[in-house]
């Protein structure tokens, strides 16, 4: 019997969200198939890859240090990040703002955001410091200083969505990330309250949370899978926002990517381990339904963007 | 004069002034002269917001005035009052923009006049988040300077943004009070027309934050009414112009509170409050503004870290003990007019009038009022008291209803903690946690022994009895809706609990009343209303509406469930169940075991072994997870015959549920002491021995129809 292909058609789409301005603007989402099911229907927009840089400077990894060699100011670092092979956007992470860490002031961080915003021409994503109170203060200022750049501000969370959503989504016309912790209902609830606040569904990108592969990753797969399922097969428009995943953050903070070579000689090169964790995690979240990933190592960025091209 | 005449006359007067001023300006500068407010992209913001037309020159301003004239209808309906109010406001904007001709700076310190777009974007965020809970517009001259200062300070303390128009500005200057955007007190201007600058803020906020299309006047007013928590305090004497402006405010949904006597009041909109010191409370109530309490005013710490703190007799200053003397704790729903928010009264001796180490009476009644408050929520709120009082450093609480026990430590007492502070804690916690239903809250604490006896026996116990009766009368048939609970989906993605009055959530923690309250407090949360209008099969409790809800909340993983059957389409289980019930083939009945029981059951499986095949959100006919309380329910596997089928339970569980099970068995089947027919681990864990025991007891399950 001949094989009869029966495409799985959905009468619903993931929203298309544009980030950035001009030629380099990118579109996230838009698909009406499961991830990379190009045999069902063409994927509207290829998933996008971003390069993470931090206000805390260049990570102490030889390959990353080499790549950014010579860049001293945040503007120079950002320009280099923008030029990474396969990069679609730059993500500035303001981890130094964490009150339990470097606790940099909002003014200091905003100066960095401005410097980076002026330096790059590619779309910009800015990630807060993850402390909900500090982010509630910091991210509205980020949205303000980036007026006109159509940036994506990460993230509004349940505790601070009003401040972040109102500033980024309403007052300063940016795109807003909605972050929840690997739970379809919390993701949906946040989207509901954000839209009730007045933020347009088309201005929201979800960060539904992640883990490095091997660290309870099945929860991530199941959450993303169910979100895409509900969005497409049940036409649930409170789950049709594209998904962005901060992979660098998760994959470089697990023991495989941190244990030193002295402690774990049998594990081999630390850098290779980190890249491996980053590439595996990124590939897995993309296959589970993420529309964009944020990575740190130039080699990971190149690898994943090549993977996407070949799968499209 | 009627309100109509006053508003119309004020409107006409302002219109006349505006027309004159525009004509004079055209004569002086010519019709092509450009006009604008500084630092705004919204032209004349109010006119633009209402009509969608931008005005750029004096000539266009004159045309716009023609449009304003069309709003000034005189047909003696309330609509005419509102529209004349809006017309008055627009005229005020026109008069004000003329002041800015040629880039003039008509306003000087401390007055602000027109506010830039950037200020609105900045103020808009805290307004949306509720950090600025409201906007007060104070207009005119307060009876005394002290009144003016006290009123402004009261709003400041609540984080409310205050804008000032007229003589009140001079009064504050005279008192040496600091003003400015940084202290959230913004003097606009001395002329009454400068009030338009705050209206302009509200309307631009609607355009910026509400995505309102300029010219969509209907949605504009809906937005300001629903989302801009502004209100007006207008001091007597009021003239026609002020009343006409006030009509404009009311049209936008902003109530006007005045101390002018003889004004015809409009409920919720135009309110006379003769006592200026009560402007704050009256305004907040009229505009439904709730103030978040961030700091509880007590001399010791308040945090969950102190929840587990135990106070030994030697460390104790005084104690209150409901098991020895009359005590009570109670939430009472009352009408808003009966109570004063944040009033805390102690009736009887304070802690410093009690002997060291003594045992005393205490009864606290927390009176709450709110539009969305329902008596059904009273026990839900009350149950939190234990947690609230325990979070106080140096205070410990156990028990509930009229059996509570409280100890205050010597340390807390020496730090200044008194009984009235319990009131502060209850007030703040209830207002914060239950803000969706509680608008006003007052606490009365009785320590006088006679009063405590009265409160306990004449107020509290009758209330508890009434509530218990209500709980007993709550049946699946007597309510119109059930609730979903998907709290556990994080780890059991396709599980949905359908919570009914007679079948609480399987975790045992979510009753129908809890689910109802959860839904009211968090409308987008885990508990959603499920209607039950289209029954499919009453016997097993299957409804089309319930099936649809389950399909939706499980994202399609579950198609249909029954509420009352363990064999046909049983409800799924997450993993939090207190108990598991499974069929026991030898006796034709069911065995129940609970999480605490570690031993073997006649099914040859322990609780964890049973749990592994019952959980995970899948339907497993023959097994179900449930709460302990469900065991005594008349709906417990009703489709298969009900609790008559229970043949075995761990001894401890049997003792816990004995009373209710016996009562239900008596009612349903006329069996006395049914629990004695049920086996336990001290009788048998082997199915054959169990059957022997059941046969000896003549257990009804043995002669019932086969379950399979």
Distance to chain B for A147, nearest Cα, Å: 12
Measure Cα distances from A65 to A59, A86, A90, A161, A271 in Å.
7, 19, 17, 36, 11
| A216 vs B307: CA distance, rounded Å | 32
B-chain residue closest to A216, CA distance: B491
- Give the tokens for residue B83: 């529209």
- What are the residues whose beta carbons fall under 8 Å from the beta carbon of B636, sequence distance 6 or more? B626, B630, B642, B643
- Residue B490 reports pLDDT greater than 80: no
| CB-neighbour burial class of residue B190 (10 A; exposed 0-12, middle 13-18, buried 19+) | middle
CB B486, CB B495: distance < 8 Å: yes
Helix (H, G, I), strand (E, B) or coil at A266: helix
CB contact (8 A) between residue B130 and residue A185 = no
pLDDT in tens, A173-232: 999 999 999 988 889 999 999 998 889 999 999 999 999 999 999 999 999 999 999 999
Q: Which of B452-456, B465-469, B669-673 has the lowest mean pLDDT?
A: B465-469
What pLDDT does residue A9 have? 82
For residue A10, list chain B residues with Cβ-Cβ distance below 8 A: none
Mean pLDDT of chain A: 94
| B471 vs B402: CA distance, rounded Å | 18
Distance to chain B for A183, nearest Cα, Å: 5
B-chain residue closest to A232, CA distance: B555
The DSSP-derived string for A183-244 is -HHHHHHHHHHHHHHT--GGGEEEE-----TTSSHHHHHHHHHHHHHHHHHS--TTS-S-BE
| A177 vs A161: CA distance, rounded Å | 10
CB A51, CB A84: distance < 8 Å: yes
- What are the residues whose beta carbons fall under 8 Å from the beta carbon of B401, sequence distance 6 or more? B322, B328, B329, B382, B460, B464
Strand extents, DSSP E, B573-699: 579-584, 589-594, 623-626, 646-648
A171 touches chain B (CB under 8 A): yes
Closest CA to A26 of A150, A131, A207: A150
Q: Best mutation site among B116, B118, B121 for testing chain A: the one with the most A CBs within 10 Å?
A: B121
For residue A183, list chain B residues with Cβ-Cβ distance below 8 A: 489-490
What pLDDT does residue B1 have? 67
pTM of the model: 0.76
Q: In angstroms, how far is CA A161 from the centroid of its own chain?
A: 18
Bridge-based pairing of strands A48-54 and A292-295 is parallel
| CB-neighbour burial class of residue B704 (10 A; exposed 0-12, middle 13-18, buried 19+) | middle
Q: In angstroms, how far is CA B479 from the centroid of its own chain?
A: 23
CB contact (8 A) between residue A172 and residue B121 = yes
- B578-601 core/surface letters (b: 16 or more CB in 10 A; e: else): bbbbbbbeebbbbbbbbbebeeeb
Mean pLDDT of chain B: 92
List beta partners, residue B624: B581
| pLDDT (average), residues B318-335 | 94
| pLDDT (average), residues B134-157 | 94
B-chain residue closest to A222, CA distance: B493
| Residue of B131, B208, B524 with shortest CB distance to A192 | B524
| B326 vs B447: CA distance, rounded Å | 10
For residue A165, list chain B residues with Cβ-Cβ distance below 8 A: 128
- Residue B50 reports pLDDT greater than 70: yes
Helix (H, G, I), strand (E, B) or coil at B542: strand
| pLDDT (average), residues B198-216 | 91
Confidence of residue A63 (pLDDT cuts 50, 70, 90): very high
| Residue of A163, A183, A200 with shortest CB distance to B125 | A163
User: How many C-beta atoms lie closer than 10 Å to residue B371's C-beta?
Assistant: 8
CB A200, CB B211: distance < 8 Å: yes
| B446 vs B425: CA distance, rounded Å | 16
Distance to chain A for B121, nearest Cα, Å: 5
For residue B126, list chain A residues with Cβ-Cβ distance below 8 A: 163
CB B231, CB B252: distance < 8 Å: no
Closest CA to A224 of A159, A180, A261: A180
Which secondary-structure segment (H or E) carries B330? Answer: strand B327-333
Helix (H, G, I), strand (E, B) or coil at B176: coil
CB A198, CB B210: distance < 8 Å: yes
| A208 vs A228: CA distance, rounded Å | 12
Is residue B237 reached through a cis peptide bond, with omega within 30 degrees of 0 on the bond before it? Answer: yes
| Residue of B208, B486, B524 with shortest CB distance to A171 | B208
A-chain residue closest to B209, CA distance: A170
Identify the DSSP state of B135.
Answer: E
For residue A222, list chain B residues with Cβ-Cβ distance below 8 A: 493
For residue B552, list chain A residues with Cβ-Cβ distance below 8 A: 234
Distance in Å from the first CA to the final CA of chain B: 84
User: How many C-beta atoms lie closer than 10 Å to residue B682's C-beta?
Assistant: 9
CB contact (8 A) between residue A163 and residue B121 = no
| A256 vs A258: CA distance, rounded Å | 6
A230 touches chain B (CB under 8 A): yes
CB contact (8 A) between residue B489 and residue A230 = no
A90 touches chain B (CB under 8 A): no
- Give the tokens for residue A33: 């198939």
A145 touches chain B (CB under 8 A): no
Distance to chain B for A190, nearest Cα, Å: 9
For residue B524, list chain A residues with Cβ-Cβ distance below 8 A: 189, 192-193, 196
CB B561, CB B542: distance < 8 Å: yes
User: How many C-beta atoms lie closer than 10 Å to residue B144's C-beta?
Assistant: 11
Backbone conformation region of residue B176, classed left if phi is above 0, alpha if psi is from -120 to 50, else beta: left
- Residue B520 reports pLDDT greater than 90: no
Q: Half-sphere exposure of residue A149, counting CA atoms within 13 Å on the CB side?
A: 25
What pLDDT does residue B400 have? 83
- Give the tokens for residue B288: 């439904």
A141 touches chain B (CB under 8 A): no
Residue in the block written with tokens 């909900």: A132
| B363 vs B445: CA distance, rounded Å | 6
- Give the tokens for residue B561: 């469930």
| B625 vs B577: CA distance, rounded Å | 5
pLDDT in tens, B338-379: 999 999 999 999 999 999 999 999 999 999 999 889 988 998
What pLDDT does residue B555 have? 81
pLDDT in tens, B94-112: 999 999 999 899 999 899 9
A-chain residue closest to B551, CA distance: A234
Distance to chain B for A99, nearest Cα, Å: 20
- What are the residues whose beta carbons fall under 8 Å from the beta carbon of A170, sequence distance 6 or more? A197, A198, A199, B124, B128, B208, B209, B211
A189 touches chain B (CB under 8 A): yes
A156 touches chain B (CB under 8 A): no
A-chain residue closest to B553, CA distance: A185
| Residue of A167, A186, A222 with shortest CB distance to B493 | A222
- Give the tokens for residue A47: 């998933």
A197 touches chain B (CB under 8 A): yes
| B197 vs B189: CA distance, rounded Å | 9
- Residue B162 reports pLDDT greater than 90: yes
Identify the DSSP state of B679.
Answer: B
Distance to chain B for A170, nearest Cα, Å: 5
What count of residues does chain A have?
312
- Residue B181 reports pLDDT greater than 90: no
| B10 vs A180: CA distance, rounded Å | 54
Interface residues from chain B to A (CB-CB < 8 Å): 121, 124-126, 128-131, 208-211, 486, 489-491, 493, 524-526, 552, 555-556
| CB-neighbour burial class of residue B346 (10 A; exposed 0-12, middle 13-18, buried 19+) | buried
Residue B285 or residue A303, greater confidence: A303
| A44 vs A122: CA distance, rounded Å | 21
For residue B131, list chain A residues with Cβ-Cβ distance below 8 A: 163
For residue B209, list chain A residues with Cβ-Cβ distance below 8 A: 166, 170-171, 198
- Residue B493 reports pLDDT greater than 80: no
pLDDT in tens, B370-415: 988 998 899 889 988 998 999 999 999 988 889 899 999 999 999 9
Helix (H, G, I), strand (E, B) or coil at B328: strand
Q: Best mutation site among B128, B549, B556 for testing chain A: the one with the most A CBs within 10 Å?
A: B128
- Give the tokens for residue A229: 């399922």
Distance to chain B for A286, nearest Cα, Å: 21
């Amino acid at each position: 019997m001949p094989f009869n292909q029966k495409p799985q058609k959905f009468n619903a789409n993931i929203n298309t969200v544009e980030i950035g301005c001009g030629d380099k603007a990118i579109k996230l989402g838009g698909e009406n198939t499961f991830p990379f099911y190009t045999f069902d229907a063409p994927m509207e927009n290829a998933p996008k890859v971003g390069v993470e840089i931090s206000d805390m400077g260049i990570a102490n990894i030889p390959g990353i240090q080499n790549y950014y060699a010579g860049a001293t100011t945040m503007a120079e670092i950002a320009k280099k990040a923008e030029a990474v092979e396969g990069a679609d956007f730059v993500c500035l992470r303001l981890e130094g703002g964490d009150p339990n860490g470097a606790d940099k002031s909002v003014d200091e961080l905003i100066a960095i955001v401005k410097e980076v915003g002026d330096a790059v021409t590619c779309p910009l994503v800015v990630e807060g410091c993850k402390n909900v109170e500090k982010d509630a203060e910091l991210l509205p200022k980020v949205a303000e200083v980036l007026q006109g750049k159509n940036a994506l501000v990460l993230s509004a969370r349940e505790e601070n969505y009003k401040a972040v959503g109102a500033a980024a989504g309403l007052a300063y016309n940016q795109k807003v990330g909605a972050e929840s912790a690997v739970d379809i209902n919390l993701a949906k609830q946040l989207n509901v309250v954000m839209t009730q606040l007045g933020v347009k569904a088309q201005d929201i990108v979800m960060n539904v949370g992640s883990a490095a592969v091997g660290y309870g990753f099945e929860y991530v797969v199941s959450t993303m899978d169910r979100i895409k399922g509900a969005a497409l097969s049940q036409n649930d428009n409170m789950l049709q926002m594209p998904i962005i995943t901060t992979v660098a953050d998760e994959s470089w903070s697990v023991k495989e990517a941190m244990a030193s070579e002295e402690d774990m000689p049998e594990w081999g090169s630390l850098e290779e381990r980190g890249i491996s964790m980053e590439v595996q995690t990124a590939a897995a979240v993309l296959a589970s339904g993420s529309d964009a990933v944020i990575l740190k190592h130039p080699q990971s960025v190149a690898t994943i963007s090549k993977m996407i091209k070949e799968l499209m | 004069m009627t309100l109509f005449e006053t508003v119309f006359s004020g409107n006409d007067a302002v219109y006349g002034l505006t027309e004159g001023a525009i004509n004079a300006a055209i004569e002086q500068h010519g019709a092509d002269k450009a006009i604008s407010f500084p630092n705004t992209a919204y032209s004349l913001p109010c006119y633009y917001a209402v009509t969608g037309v931008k005005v750029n020159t004096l000539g266009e301003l004159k045309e716009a005035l023609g449009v304003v004239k069309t709003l000034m209808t005189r047909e003696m309906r309330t609509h005419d009052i509102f529209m004349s109010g809006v017309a008055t406001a627009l005229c005020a904007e026109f008069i004000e923009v003329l002041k800015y001709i040629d880039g003039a700076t008509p306003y000087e310190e401390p007055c602000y006049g027109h506010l830039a777009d950037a200020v609105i974007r900045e103020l808009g965020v805290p307004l949306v988040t509720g950090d600025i809970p409201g906007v007060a517009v104070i207009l005119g001259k307060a009876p005394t300077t002290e009144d003016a200062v006290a009123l402004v300070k009261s709003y400041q303390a609540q984080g409310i943004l205050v804008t000032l128009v007229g003589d009140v500005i001079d009064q504050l200057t005279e008192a040496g009070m600091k003003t400015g955007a940084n202290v959230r007190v913004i003097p606009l201007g001395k002329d009454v027309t400068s009030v338009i600058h705050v209206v302009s803020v509200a309307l631009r906020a609607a355009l910026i934050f509400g995505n309102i299309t300029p010219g969509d006047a209907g949605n504009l007013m809906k937005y300001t009414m629903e989302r801009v928590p502004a209100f007006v305090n207008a001091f007597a004497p009021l003239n026609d112009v002020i009343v006409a402006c006030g009509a404009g405010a009311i049209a936008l949904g902003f109530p006007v509170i005045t101390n002018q006597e003889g004004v015809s009041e409009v409920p919720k909109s135009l309110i006379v409050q003769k006592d200026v010191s009560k402007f704050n409370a009256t305004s907040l109530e009229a505009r439904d503004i709730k103030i978040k309490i961030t700091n509880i005013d007590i001399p010791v710490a308040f945090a969950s870290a102190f929840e587990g703190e135990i106070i030994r007799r030697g460390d104790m200053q005084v104690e209150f003990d409901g098991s020895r003397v009359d005590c009570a704790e109670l939430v009472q729903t009352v009408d808003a007019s009966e109570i004063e928010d944040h009033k805390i009264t102690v009736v009887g001796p304070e802690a410093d009038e009690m002997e060291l180490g003594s045992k005393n009476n205490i009864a606290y009644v927390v009176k709450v009022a709110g539009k969305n408050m329902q008596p059904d929520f009273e026990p839900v709120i009350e149950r939190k008291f234990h947690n609230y009082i325990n979070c106080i450093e140096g205070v410990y609480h156990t028990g509930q209803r009229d059996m509570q026990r409280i100890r205050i430590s010597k340390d807390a007492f020496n730090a200044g903690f008194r009984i009235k502070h319990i009131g502060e804690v209850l007030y703040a916690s209830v207002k914060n946690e239950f803000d969706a239903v509680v608008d006003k809250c007052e606490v009365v604490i009785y320590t006088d022994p006679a009063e405590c006896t009265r409160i306990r026996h004449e107020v509290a116990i009758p209330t508890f009895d009434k509530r218990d009766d209500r709980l007993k009368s709550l049946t699946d048939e007597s309510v119109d809706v059930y609730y979903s609970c998907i709290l556990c989906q994080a780890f059991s993605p396709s599980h949905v609990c359908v919570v009914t009055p007679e079948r609480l959530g399987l975790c045992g923690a979510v009753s129908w009343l809890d689910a109802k309250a959860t839904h009211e407090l968090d409308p987008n949360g885990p508990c959603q209303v499920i209607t039950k209008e289209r029954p499919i099969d009453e016997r097993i409790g299957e409804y089309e509406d319930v099936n649809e809800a389950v399909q939706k909340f499980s994202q399609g993983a579950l198609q249909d469930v029954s509420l009352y059957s363990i064999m046909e389409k049983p409800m799924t289980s997450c993993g939090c169940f207190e108990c598991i019930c499974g069929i026991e083939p030898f006796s034709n009945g069911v065995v129940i075991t609970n999480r605490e029981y570690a031993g073997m059951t006649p099914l040859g499986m322990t609780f964890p072994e049973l749990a592994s095949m019952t959980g995970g959100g899948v339907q497993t006919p023959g097994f179900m997870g449930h709460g302990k309380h469900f065991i005594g329910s008349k709906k417990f596997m009703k489709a298969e015959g009900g609790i008559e089928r229970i043949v075995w339970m761990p001894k401890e569980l049997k003792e816990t549920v004995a009373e209710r099970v016996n009562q239900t068995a008596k009612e349903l089947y006329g069996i006395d002491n049914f629990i004695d027919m049920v086996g336990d681990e001290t009788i048998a864990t082997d199915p054959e021995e169990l059957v022997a025991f059941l046969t000896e007891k003549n257990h009804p399950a043995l002669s019932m129809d086969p379950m399979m």
